[in-house]
Amino acid sequence: MKDVDLSLGIAVKTYLDDFLKPEWSAKERDQNKATYVERYLPHSLKFKEDLDVAFKFFDAVYEGVMTLGDEIKAEDKTAWSEAKAYLDTRR
Amino acid sequence: MESLEQNYIDGVMGSKELLLYDKIGDAIINPPNAADWEKKALTGVVKPDLIAQLKVSPDMFSDALLMVGTSFLPPFPPLQVESIISQQPYTLIDAINLLRTSEKSVTNTCSAFRDILDKQDPKWLDKYRKAKMLVKHCVTVEVSGRIIVREFESLTSDNIEYLGLQLPAELYHYLSKAMIGPRLMNSFVSLQSIVFPTLDGVVSDEYKHLVTRDLVELKEEAAALIASRIHRGYQFKDINMKFWFDDSLNTGLTHRNMHVKVNQVTDAWLVQDTDLKAQEKAVGAPSGKISFAALTLQNKDFAASTISKEKSEKPEKREKAAPLNTKPEILSNALWRLFHLRKFTNDQHELTSWGKALATTLKVIAPEIQKHGDVHHLEEAAFLAFELIRFNILNSANRHTELIGGPLRGSDSDKSNCLLIGRTSCLLKLRHGNIGYTGPLSKNFLSFHTLIKAVRETDRDLLEAITASMFLNHQANRLSRDGKVRNDFGDLGRRYVLSLRYFNTFANTIPTAFHS
């Protein structure tokens, strides 16, 4: 079944805003994802994979946005670049 | 039936308005009231007797019958005014007396009582005239099942105004097979397009702008695609838009000037299976998918070759294209037509800047599509992402800190970055056990979901209009190869993108959670 729901949006937001500590090492980040699932989304099926897809999808849209010229506002383009830099320190 | 030679029925029971129709023989039987049951007797009206008793002409009789009100015409307002008709309720005789004082003409009677009409029902005379025409040209069914319009020879060309119109049975068939949903057809039947309340109930400026301004053109295009394939009467009917959050807003879908344009755009896409197959290998995506539609057009030679020969600039090169048959053909061409109307491609069928951006995204995400298939619906998400960016929706503006569930930690720019990443992820799907959603809630994101849903529904309607018009116009074959009516209309409806199901248990639980 196809549907748009916002659960992955909220999950990604909560993960970045509430849970992840930027000072964690790569190994800690990987291990702590299980804790996140336990605490926030106990009934999700493959959260680690879904989160990874969400990040990669963001990268892909970012790449697309960067090809645009004056079709979008300069400040919007900057917002995408800044968000990309923010995400790159939190994978 | 009563007028037929063969006796199918013995009498007609019903309201007196049936006496308006000359095909109803001489008499009608009144529906029995309580007293009739007691007396075990029925009463009735014999039309010639009644006319003789009232000493009126048949024409005046039917005018008076209309004036007292019918199921399709409200009563003549002065009849209900006590200073004019002292004994209420008024009767047929009162109507006849009013007519007599104005030279037996309804028009004159209306001018005599203009002050009352202006106040109560300024358009009553117009309604009366339509009712009169409706009676004259009433629609009846013959024994054979043939539906006829009475006095068809003298039917006026504006008959849509009083007879109304039925949409073609073909559209109802597509609806019954779920190839199209009901929204488009409803808007033609009722001439209203209604924007229903949202799950979050938030009427933000960007939401208002989106549904009252930005999405209107897409709805007009969808209406134009259908209207130009059905009865001419519809082509000149604007559709009124109604919004749940403001009754006073008066926006119309004016599609009459768009018919030529939308058809020029869509008709130019009739790419056949053989050409599709050759491209599948080149781009590594199956035909009928968004990736295929976008990535193939990166090849300029292919893009140029997709312009239908019917539309060739050189008249000597024009030739009639064969209708589309297979599902991949129909799905691919429907998507390209959508791309073109949504300006992801231009008239040369090359990708525009938006189309190139979408192709870039699809190319970057291709490994994930390969790996996971459609579980996150990545392709559709990519398409919607650029639709939303174009409508100034998918960005980090309009943070709505008043709505709970937005990012709270870190610096201001941390919050806005987190918000944009979260919003982008709203387009994808989280795999969750089938027990109802159990994770964190956010009204902030629910409100964003409303914006996605509005765009998605409108794009879906446009895609449905594209597909339906393809069949209505015989650009796609309604029959399968064995000559029978094709049985995959429903499958087509489910396979093309932005499919109908966007509600889910999770979205439904949120308002409860926030309002309780």
CB contact under 8 Å between B372 and A83, yes or no, is no
pLDDT of residue B473: 92
Distance CA B467, CA B383 (A): 18
User: Which chain B residue shows the shortest CA-CA distance from A19?
Assistant: B409
What is the structure's pLDDT at B507? Answer: 37
Q: pLDDT band at B506, cuts 50/70/90?
A: very low
Report pLDDT for B58.
Answer: 85
Measured between beta carbons, the chain A residues lying within 8 angstroms of B501 are: 1-3
Contact criterion met (CB below 8 Å) for A71 and B406: no
* Straight-line distance from the first to the last Cα atom of chain B, in angstroms, rounded to the nearest whole number: 59
Of A9, A42, A83, the CB nearest to B438: A42
Residue B399: pLDDT over 70: yes
pLDDT of residue B316: 67
Average pLDDT over residues B14-19: 85
Cis before B367 (ω within 30): no
Is the interface score ipTM higher than 0.95?
A: yes
Q: What is the rounded average pLDDT for all residues in chain B?
A: 88
- Cβ distance of A4 and B425 shorter than 8 Å: no
pLDDT tens digits, one per residue of B156-199: 888 777 877 778 889 988 988 889 999 999 999 888 999 999 99
CB contact under 8 A, A11 and B425: yes
DSSP string, B49-116: HHHHHHT--HHHHHHHHHHT-BTTBPPPGGGG-TTTS-SSSP-HHHHHHHHHHTTT-HHHHHHHTHHH
pTM of the model: 0.79
Q: Which of the four pLDDT bands, split at 50, 70 and 90, describes residue A26?
A: very high
Average pLDDT over every residue of B217-223: 97
The token pair that represents B20 in the structure block: 């308006």
Q: How far apart are the first and last CA of chain A?
A: 29
pLDDT confidence of residue B510 = 37
pLDDT surpasses 80 at B441: yes
Decide which of A1 and B122 is more confident: B122
Pick B202 or B311 by higher pLDDT.
B202
Higher pLDDT among residues B32 and B407, named by residue? B407
CA distance B342 to chain A (A): 14
User: How many residues belong to chain A?
Assistant: 91
> How distant is the alpha carbon of residue B320 from its chain centre?
31
**Does pLDDT of B515 surpass 50?**
no
The dihedral of CA B168, B169, B173, B175: what is its sign? positive
> Picking from A83-87, B62-66, B146-150, which range would have the lowest pLDDT averaged per residue?
B146-150
Q: Are strands B27-29 and B246-253 parallel, antiparallel or unpaired?
A: unpaired
Q: Collect all residues with Cβ–Cβ distance below 8 Å to B286 and sequence separation of at least 6.
A: B280, B292, B328
Residue B252, pLDDT > 50, answer yes
CB B297 within 8 A of CB B362: no
pLDDT, one tens digit per residue, over B97-114 is: 888 888 888 888 888 888
Confidence of residue B514 (pLDDT cuts 50, 70, 90): very low
* DSSP-derived secondary structure for B302-357: HHHHTB-GGG-SSGGG--PPPPB-SHHHHHHHHHHHHHHHTTSB-TTS-B-HHHHH
pLDDT of residue B502: 39
Contacts of A19 in chain B (CB under 8 A): none
CA distances from B459 to B37, B182, B500 (A): 59, 15, 11
A3 vs B407, B417, B503: nearest CB: B503
pLDDT of A4 > 70? The answer is no
Q: What is the pLDDT of residue B25?
A: 66
- Kindly report, residue by residue over B467-505, the tens digit of the pLDDT: 999 999 999 999 988 888 898 998 888 877 776 443 333
Are the beta carbons of B361 and A60 separated by less than 8 Å?
yes
Contact B202, B249 (CB under 8 A): no
pLDDT at B420 over 80: yes
Q: Which residues contact B483 (CB under 8 A, 6 or more apart)?
A: none
* Residue in A2, A5, A6 to test binding to B, most B beta-carbons within 10 Å: A6
Which among A1, A5, A33 is the top mutation candidate for probing chain B, defined by the most B β-carbons within 10 Å of its own β-carbon?
A5
Residue B311 has pLDDT above 70, yes or no: no
CB contacts of B499 in chain A (<8 Å) are: 2
| Paired tokens of B311 | 């539309």
Plot region of B432 (φ>0 → left; ψ -120 to 50 → alpha; else → beta): beta
